[in-house]
Amino acid sequence: MPLPIPAPPDPKQMILGAEDWVEYRTGFPTLVRRFLFRNVPPTGWFHTLGSSLLTVFILQATTGMLLAMTYDPSPTGAYESIRYITDYQTLGWLVRGMHKWGASVMVILLFLHMGRTFFYGAYKYPREMTWLTGSIIFLSVMGMGLTGYLLVWDQRAYWASVVAVNINGTAPVLGPFISKFLLAGPIFGAQTISRFYALHMLLIPGLIGAMIFVHMWLVVKLGVTPWPSRPASVEEER
């Protein structure tokens, strides 16, 4: 008696089976569906600023990691390694350009995103914590701008950082300590650039990443703020 020929596997069933396999073990498919397939109020282009920021953050993190592979955070090597990235490394000019312009784009988008939140009144109850975590991200991005500026280590970067550190020093009582903290000592030295580098690529991005997680958790939990309009009852009376 000939053996029965097994039916060819159904591709749809195979995919569904694979999803079930992951679902039973991790629950991730449900997580992703809950995250992406939410009910939202009528939205517009202004609601895309947050996800644009997330995209730019991912861009900055990726290009930053690539630049870190070549960059040398030392007084003797910093400028030369940047020059090597820009002039000699394959597509180095592009990766560095993306990181440089991405930084400006991120600050611009951040202001627009904050403005949107402000003018929609989206910072009000129950979304105060979303606003506060966003504020921490805002200050951290400013810190990224400050610490990243020095790393190029040309004349403009150097003097701009001297000025920025001294601005911190003018705050009474704590100011002088903050400027010595940033310089990693009483004067601009070799430790200054490595300290700025560590802040720029480890400490502040870690903080931003953690805050983005909390920020997005709150966005998903509380929902998106609709366009502030009069209640329907008021509109009917008009």
Partner 1 sequence: MAEIPASSHAHAHTAPNDIDSAVTRSQFLTLTTVGLGAMIGAVIGVPATAYVLAPVFDEVKFEPVSLGPVSKFVADPSGQFKPIAATFVEDPSLPETSAALAWVYNTGKPSTDWLAADAMFIVFSNRCMHLGCPVAAALSGFACPCHGGQYNQEGQRIAGPPIRPLDRYEWQVKDDQLMVVNRWSVDFVDGKVKYYPVKMPGQPVQLPGPSVVNDTVPDILYPNVTYEHGTVPQAK
Cα angle: 28, vertex 33, 34; to 5 degrees: 95
Is 145 one of the binding residues for partner 1 (CB under 8 A)?
Answer: no
Among 30, 104, 135, 166, binds partner 1 (CB under 8 A): 166
**Which residue stretch of 32-40, 51-59, 113-121, 172-180 sits at the interface with partner 1 (rule: CB under 8 A)?**
172-180
User: Please, are residues 85 and 92 in contact by the beta-carbon 8 Å criterion?
Assistant: yes
**CB closer to partner 1 out of 15 and 190:** 190
Give the chain as a DSSP string. Answer: -PPPPPPPPPHHHHHHHHHHHHHHHH-HHHHHHHHHS----S--GGGGHHHHHHHHHHHHHHHHHHHHTT---STTTHHHHHHHHHHTSTTHHHHHHHHHHHHHHHHHHHHHHHHHHHHTTTTSTT-HHHHHHHHHHHHHHHHHHHHHHHHT-SHHHHHHHHHHHHHHHTSTTTHHHHHHHHHTSSS--HHHHHHHHHIIIIIHHHHHHHHHHHHHHHHHHH-PPPP----HHHHHH-
Is 88 one of the binding residues for partner 1 (CB under 8 A)?
Answer: no
CB atoms closer than 10 angstroms to residue 106: 20
Is 170 one of the binding residues for partner 1 (CB under 8 A)?
Answer: yes
Is 149 one of the binding residues for partner 1 (CB under 8 A)?
Answer: no
Is 172 one of the binding residues for partner 1 (CB under 8 A)?
Answer: yes
Q: Binders of partner 1 among 47-76, rule CB under 8 A?
A: 75-76
Number of residues in contact with partner 1 under rule CB under 8 A: 28
Query: Least CB distance from residue 91 to partner 1, whole Å?
Result: 29
Give 152-166 as a DSSP string. Answer: T-SHHHHHHHHHHHH
Is 80 one of the binding residues for partner 1 (CB under 8 A)?
Answer: no
**CB closer to partner 1 out of 100 and 180:** 180
**CB closer to partner 1 out of 42 and 172:** 172
Is 169 one of the binding residues for partner 1 (CB under 8 A)?
Answer: yes
**CB closer to partner 1 out of 13 and 170:** 170
Report the distance separating Cα 173 and Cα 170, nearest Å. 9
**Which residue stretch of 45-53, 122-130, 182-190, 224-232 sits at the interface with partner 1 (rule: CB under 8 A)?**
182-190
User: Mask 186-225, x = binds partner 1 (CB under 8 A)?
Assistant: xxxxxxx---------------------------------
**CB closer to partner 1 out of 165 and 218:** 165
Give the residues lining the site for partner 1 (CB under 8 A). 75-76, 159, 162-163, 165-167, 169-170, 172-173, 175-177, 179-181, 183-192
